[in-house]
Structure 1
Amino acid sequence: MSLIKSVVLANPEHVVPRPGVPGAILPQNEAFTVSVLDPFFAGLLADGTLIDAPAPEPEKAPAGKARA
């Protein structure tokens, strides 16, 4: 298990302060990484405030030209 996780806010409308940075908040509409060993982030993971970021969708290959 990795000690670093890519996460998102379970509810992107919530405003969660960034620890140690006065006036800063966690990203609301994008994934970010956290350490699962950090007590602040471990608590947010445990209570469901943070959830695993969805896996990125694979890029579709551009449609090739049909041969006649």
Structure 2
Amino acid sequence: LQYTISALFFWVNGTGYLIFLESCFEEAAHVLTKRLHRCSESVVLWKTKYVNSTWDHNALYGSKVSEMW
């Protein structure tokens, strides 16, 4: 689990997730439960998969990302 200034990156079942947190960085520790409860109003979740030596980025936008897990 790697932390940057306002984002965190972790792996779930071989898939990398880069989550940008704007006003709810204190809740970053709860990501280990695979759920972001009520974070900020604008959360950008990048679902990144490693395919054929290239990174395929799929951007998912939503105010409630707990439904994505």
Q: Of Structure 1 and Structure 2, which has the larger fraction of its residues in helix?
A: 2
TM-score by length of 1: 0.26
- State which structure, 1 or 2, has the greater radius of gyration over its C-alpha atoms: 1
TM-score by length of 2: 0.26
Larger RCO of the pair (alpha carbons < 8 Å, separation 6+): 1
